[in-house]
Amino acid sequence: MFSRKRTLTFGLAILASCSVLEPVLAEIKLITLPPRERVEIQLDHANATLVEEERIVPLAQGVNDVVFAWTNTYIDRNSIVFRCLTNPEEIKVLSVESPPGQNALVWQVFAPEAGSARIRVSYLIGQLNKSFMYRATAAPDEKSLTLWQYIRLHNNANESFGVAGMWPGFGERIERPIGINETKQLLTNRFDNVAIRKKYTADLSEYGYLDAGKRQLRIPMHYVLKNDERHGLGQFPLKFGKARIFQDDGQGTTAFLGEDWLQFTPRDDEAALYLGVAKDIVVKRNIERREQERVRGQLYDYDIIIKYEIENFKDMPATLDIIEHPSAIRNEIRGNTGRPVQWDLAGNDTLGEAYNPGDSESDRLVFRVTLPERGDDQKATKIVHTLHLVIRNEW
């Protein structure tokens, strides 16, 4: 798609042709390459970068050859558009041609009189790419954080653009110099007092065991932030990018908590930043009952009770999401049949009131429970919850 040659020039030249009786004797005057007056770069598309550049060029009266040539630069020839911004009703493009074997376009431009004109050339260019990065610093109480968003520009297009305006597709326009083969990181947005909640998750299917012998689940920790105005965000979707996560220790320094990839987050959706595995919340999971009940012929229901023993050794309350997947439970008790699973919640258990329908799906049940802080004796109070589920019509 993008053309590349061995030489290292990239430019715009103007050739003024003077009409005479004998074309072979025509005088061709080469006008010095004018510098760019303005450059705008659109970074809002995931796979293509649009560049618009404007220059002031001298035009002779009559027909002028305007030559746009590039080498060793990844420009899509078919995307190039030429426009005259000065007196466009009278200064006209008569034709355009591509010299054989050259990375160039030549426009024949008619000017009713000699003078300077502002022209704009736009094109798609390759190897001028972007990525996003974030820095999140949580407050000491872990109730809010400050989020910095950066755009990292990778200019491998073999061209220097000077001072250019950039628009990443959201927020405000950025203006910075862009050098050849340069990578730079630019701050695009800062959000203060972003409300968060710290989430602990017990999900055997996704995170497995911390200690399989003891049936102790691995409990990952996340900061959850919602991309809406009420929580301090919501101006635009959050782009995918690497996030470095810190916590303010309340004494003027910060502690590094880890790195995660912040997923693309539309407005009003939630994003979760991984913080590591909790060691101060212990969850043990056991299948306490699995009874097979014949329906008819070779068709059976399975009556299942899962017990969770939970201890919170933190000196503050915590929220734990217990997540179960009915298909994974079926596979656990009788193996994977490859068929869709049918299930019902029996209702006579302790997790029923904690069911979270907003976060649940057909094969992902979410139960949100609150854990009290440990006591003054530094001992955790053991909480027991049960889930009663019926797997239907298995054979």
- Are residues 103 and 62 both part of a single domain? yes
User: Is residue 102 in a domain?
Assistant: yes
- Are residues 190 and 50 both part of a single domain? no
Q: How confident is the model at residue 21 (pLDDT cuts 50, 70, 90)?
A: very low
Phi, psi of 300 (to 5 degrees): -130, 150
User: Is residue 384 in a domain?
Assistant: yes
Q: Is the predicted pLDDT of residue 20 greater than 50, yes or no?
A: no
Q: What pLDDT, on the 0 to 100 scale, is given for residue 150?
A: 95
The HSE-up count of residue 90 (CA atoms within 13 Å, CB side) is 11
- Are residues 249 and 234 both part of a single domain? yes
Alpha helices per DSSP H over 58-207: 204-207
CB atoms within 10 A of CB 263: 15
User: Is residue 2 in a domain?
Assistant: no
Q: What pLDDT, on the 0 to 100 scale, is given for residue 292?
A: 94
User: Is residue 3 in a domain?
Assistant: no
- Are residues 66 and 172 both part of a single domain? no
Task: Select from 277, 312, 334 the last residue of a domain.
Answer: 277
Q: What pLDDT, on the 0 to 100 scale, is given for residue 33?
A: 55
Integer-rounded Cα Rg, in Å, for the chain is 32
Q: What pLDDT, on the 0 to 100 scale, is given for residue 13?
A: 53
Q: Which residues contact 208 (CB under 8 A, 6 or more apart)?
A: 217, 218
For the four alpha carbons of 266, 271, 273 and 277, in that order, the dihedral sign comes to negative
Assess contact for 189 and 311: CB atoms under 8 A: no
- Are residues 387 and 375 both part of a single domain? yes
SS3 category, 53: strand
The parent domain of residue 293 ranges over 281-394
Q: Characterize the bridge pairing of strands 36-42 and 162-167.
A: parallel
Residue-by-residue DSSP string for 286-304: EEEEEEEEEEETTEEEEEE
- 156-188 per-position pLDDT tens digit: 998 889 999 999 888 888 999 999 989 999 999
- Are residues 147 and 14 both part of a single domain? no
User: Is residue 42 in a domain?
Assistant: yes
- 260-309 per-position pLDDT tens digit: 999 999 999 999 999 999 999 999 999 999 999 999 988 999 999 999 99
Task: Select from 96, 125, 154 the last residue of a domain.
Answer: 125
Q: What pLDDT, on the 0 to 100 scale, is given for residue 31?
A: 43
Q: Is the predicted pLDDT of residue 228 greater than 90, yes or no?
A: yes
Percentage of the residues of the chain whose pLDDT score is greater than 70: 92
Q: Characterize the bridge pairing of strands 36-42 and 49-59.
A: antiparallel
Assess contact for 174 and 203: CB atoms under 8 A: no
Which helix (H) or strand (E) segment holds residue 326: the answer is: helix 326-334
User: Is residue 54 in a domain?
Assistant: yes
- Are residues 112 and 135 both part of a single domain? no
- Are residues 259 and 191 both part of a single domain? yes
| Number of domains comprising the chain | 3
Q: What pLDDT, on the 0 to 100 scale, is given for residue 169?
A: 84
- 51-91 per-position pLDDT tens digit: 999 999 999 999 999 988 888 889 999 999 999 999 999 99
CB atoms within 10 A of CB 42: 17
Task: Select from 251, 277, 303 the last residue of a domain.
Answer: 277
User: Is residue 1 in a domain?
Assistant: no
C-alpha to C-alpha distance for 3 and 134, rounded to whole angstroms:
34
Partnered with residue 96 across adjacent β-strands are 107
Q: What pLDDT, on the 0 to 100 scale, is given for residue 12?
A: 54
Q: What pLDDT, on the 0 to 100 scale, is given for residue 214?
A: 96
Q: Is the predicted pLDDT of residue 10 greater than 90, yes or no?
A: no
Cα distances from 6 to residues 20, 72, 159, in angstroms, run 37, 6, 14
Query: Residue 290 is encoded by which pair of tokens?
Result: 């699995």
- Are residues 251 and 349 both part of a single domain? no
Query: Residue 329 is encoded by which pair of tokens?
Result: 């439970």
- Are residues 119 and 140 both part of a single domain? no
C-alpha to C-alpha distance for 275 and 137, rounded to whole angstroms:
12
- Are residues 91 and 149 both part of a single domain? no
Query: Residue 52 is encoded by which pair of tokens?
Result: 């618009």
- Are residues 82 and 45 both part of a single domain? yes
Query: Residue 24 is encoded by which pair of tokens?
Result: 């072979």
User: Is residue 200 in a domain?
Assistant: yes
Assess contact for 211 and 204: CB atoms under 8 A: no
Q: What pLDDT, on the 0 to 100 scale, is given for residue 146?
A: 98
